[in-house]
């Protein structure tokens, strides 16, 4: 991809990525706070200001590298994890599972909202708005909403990988019997290494791509 194409794709993806990861992390902290853990709120992480959630590598460098190395076909990022203390929950395992699931659910809701804005506002407006306005405003907004749909669906699907500390791993740990959950949670220190290996070998695609297709298929019904 040429530099102009990279910059164009970056401009279309930057805002959706920031919104996706910010809402994802705030959702974790918001639900945790509702369930009795005020850690995120006390540390100022229940804010939609993306600056509070930006991670240098996960929010800036990784999406940029993926944009370049995948020729603009795949953009993904993450924010600084919102701190949660499960000991503040009445039921630590259940509370952790619920707060963990809030992130992917929020991303799917954002994808749903983006789809409806695209179909009910932007696309209908293209038929009666002057061409100059549509080319300068509506068409870029439409492409940004399309990026938002893909980015949020991919983020939700990837985070549902059943490997701690990803959200899917925390949900699995909350659903397993105590003994099995303790054994399962022991892989958490190696979780990101496992995820990197799965991505590098392409094995993650066998889980993520079917989920992406499933979610896109559900959204396509609307």
Q: Catalytic site residues?
A: 25
Q: What is the DSSP letter of 73?
A: S
Q: What is the DSSP letter of 118?
A: I
List the one residue out of 56, 53, 37 whose CA is nearest residue 45: 53
Neighbour-count burial of 35, counting CB atoms closer than 10 A to its CB (0-12 exposed, 13-18 middle, 19+ buried): buried
Contacts 24+ apart (CB under 8 A), 11-14: 12/140, 12/143, 12/144, 12/147, 13/63, 13/67, 13/75, 13/147, 13/151, 14/63
CA 88/CA 77 separation, integer angstroms: 29
By the 10 Å C-beta count (0-12 exposed, 13-18 middle, 19+ buried), 215 is classed as: buried
The CA distance from 86 to 189, in Å, is 17
């Amino acid at each position: 991809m040429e530099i102009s194409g990279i910059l164009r794709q970056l401009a279309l993806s930057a805002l959706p990525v920031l919104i996706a990861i910010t809402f994802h992390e705030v959702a974790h902290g918001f639900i945790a706070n509702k369930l009795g853990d005020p850690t995120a709120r006390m540390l100022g992480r229940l804010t939609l200001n993306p600056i509070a959630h930006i991670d240098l590598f996960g929010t800036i460098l990784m999406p940029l590298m993926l944009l370049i190395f995948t020729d603009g076909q795949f953009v993904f990022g993450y924010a600084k994890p919102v701190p949660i203390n499960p000991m503040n929950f009445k039921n630590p395992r259940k509370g952790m599972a619920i707060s963990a699931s809030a992130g992917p659910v929020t991303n799917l809701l954002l994808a749903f909202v983006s789809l409806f804005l695209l179909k009910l506002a932007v696309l209908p407006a293209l038929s009666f708005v002057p061409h100059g306005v549509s080319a300068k405003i509506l068409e870029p907004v439409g492409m940004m909403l399309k990026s938002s749909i893909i980015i949020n669906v991919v983020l939700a699907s990837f985070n549902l990988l059943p490997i701690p500390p990803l959200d899917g791993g925390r949900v699995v740990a909350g659903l397993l019997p105590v003994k099995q959950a303790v054994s399962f949670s022991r892989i958490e220190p190696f979780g990101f290494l496992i995820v990197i290996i799965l991505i590098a070998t392409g094995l993650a695609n066998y889980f993520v791509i079917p989920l992406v297709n499933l979610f896109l298929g559900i959204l396509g019904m609307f």
